[in-house]
Structure 1
Amino acid sequence: MSAPARQIEAAADQRILEHACEHLRRFGPKRTTILDIAEAAGMSHANVYRYFPSKLALFDAVTANWLAALEGQLRVIKEGPDPAYDKLERALSAIQKTYRAKLEADPALFKLLCDAIETNRVVARKHRNKIQGEVQAIVEEGINAGSFRMTDRRRAMALVFDLAHRFIQPISIALDRSIPAPDLAFRAGRAFAAIQRSLVYGDPDFDI
């Protein structure tokens, strides 16, 4: 495929995603149809199916599209010059704040992520693996540099995700939507600080 043809394909794909987001926000997933999205995008529904084989595939693409920014942010944090201690706090805070902000500003699209998690769809598994991979890389950096005394990688990762779960798991964040965002961010910060202390100073009595 030539470069101009690829650009046309990418533009059409993006146009479909934009109209899908608009319809999801206005009507929700049940009332959003491929036919309506195609009409809004100025193309036939058959053409939409060229890009996305089903409505569910389109919804998953919408989900992956907004998650990409968070994944990119975590990658930048991981590759930055800061000590692993600081990177870990920044990464966990970025996850918590991004999810909470999306829940408040764009609840229809956030619900798509929760639905994907509950049904164990590929888009949710890929995102979870990326999140875990970036956090694990930060933890391993701290261990290799000697700044984390908890050197058992399995125990260290279990500690991070067990203690942070309430604040970085989308479904848990949705359940806590009635808690004011500043209050939840404060509580998340305390949990993340406890994780940092356990990794830095070690906790031989912390049995996971």
Structure 2
Amino acid sequence: MESHVIARIQPRADERSRIVEAATIVCRQYGPLKTNVADIARLIGKSPASVYNVFPSKAAILDAVAASFFETRLCFTPSAANGPTSTTGRLKNTTLEQHRLVLQARDNDPQMFKLMALAAEANWPSYKQHLKRLEAAVAELILAGVATKEFATPKIEVAAACFCVSISVLLDPRIVEALPSSRCEASASELALFAIAALTRKAKYRERDRAKGYQAYRTADD
């Protein structure tokens, strides 16, 4: 790429980052609904018009702030495989860790938690990408479980999507916000195990029926 093209692109990338950083500060101070472009522009020493040259609207700015928060503070990292824990245990631990991060945001970063809920309610691109990352991480663990014969499902992506929906009470900020803290904490482990059981039950049934020679059951189950 030509050097003058790089020079033209880089300042804009830096400007975008500065706007997102400033918007994050303003959002934490006033909340997402009271955040305005004038305050963001003032914080970085720019005019509102210059901010609108980078982002088409306030909603687009808040979506970028939410995307940054999801990627850095709500990052769904599967539990490590290099240990004695089974894939079932890894999926449970990963689910509970993600739930812990959501609760942490709710209790320690309330304005950003409100932004999370707003992103979910409006189905912003940042939230849709967050859900895709969740499903991809769960799919990775389900695939590992199939390899170890803990799980039995021929449709990994469908199973991952269904699993994420079944535990949405632990992950969706709109639902978590409405539930008492004690109820979330008490039911999280049980709910994670209940959802995982749907993945393990088929594996157990198939192993049992293969041992008995019931091929007809296997065909019907598939």
Please indicate, yes or no, whether the TM-score normalized by the shorter chain is above 0.5: yes
Kindly indicate whether residue 192 of structure 2 is the aligned counterpart of residue 189 of structure 1: no
Cα distance per residue 1:156-200 (max 9 Å; x no partner): 446623542211222111111x324xx523420122123334433
Distance between the aligned counterparts of 1:119 and 1:162, measured in 2?
Answer: 18
Cross-structure match for 1:169:
172
What is the identity, as a one-letter code, of the residue corresponding to 1:105?
A: N
Distance between the aligned counterparts of 1:134 and 1:163, measured in 2?
Answer: 15
Gaps of 5+ in 2: 206-222
What is the identity, as a one-letter code, of the residue corresponding to 2:48?
A: H
Aligned partners of 1:71 and 1:131 also within 8 Å? no
Gaps of 5+ in 1: none
Cα separation, partners in 2 of 1:161 and 1:31, compared to 1, 3 Å: closer
Cross-structure match for 1:16:
19
Identical-pair percentage: 23
Aligned partners of 2:134 and 2:164 also within 8 Å? no
**How many residues in Structure 1 have an aligned counterpart in Structure 2?**
198
Cα separation, partners in 2 of 1:4 and 1:90, compared to 1, 3 Å: farther
Distance between the aligned counterparts of 2:74 and 2:50, measured in 1?
Answer: 30
State the secondary structure of the residue aligned to 1:29. coil
State the secondary structure of the residue aligned to 2:32. helix
Cross-structure match for 2:220:
none
Cα distance, 1:37 vs. partner?
A: 0.8
Cα distance, 1:5 vs. partner?
A: 6.2
Distance between the aligned counterparts of 1:79 and 1:48, measured in 2?
Answer: 41
Alignment counterpart, residue 150 of structure 2, candidates 128, 138, 147? 147
Distance between the aligned counterparts of 2:148 and 2:172, measured in 1?
Answer: 28
State the secondary structure of the residue aligned to 1:2. helix
Distance between the aligned counterparts of 1:73 and 1:163, measured in 2?
Answer: 17
Kindly indicate whether residue 136 of structure 2 is the aligned counterpart of residue 133 of structure 1: yes
Aligned partners of 1:17 and 1:61 also within 8 Å? yes
Cα distance per residue 1:72-106 (max 9 Å; x no partner): 442xx267445422321122112211111111122
Cross-structure match for 1:26:
29
TM-score by length of 1: 0.79
Give the 5 Å matches for 1:2-151: 2=6, 6=10, 8-69=11-72, 72-74=75-77, 77=78, 80-81=81-82, 83-148=86-151, 150-151=152-153
Distance between the aligned counterparts of 1:41 and 1:162, measured in 2?
Answer: 40
Aligned partners of 2:120 and 2:172 also within 8 Å? no
Distance between the aligned counterparts of 2:81 and 2:14, measured in 1?
Answer: 32
Cα distance, 1:59 vs. partner?
A: 0.2
TM-score by length of 2: 0.75
Aligned partners of 2:70 and 2:126 also within 8 Å? no
What is the identity, as a one-letter code, of the residue corresponding to 1:115?
A: L
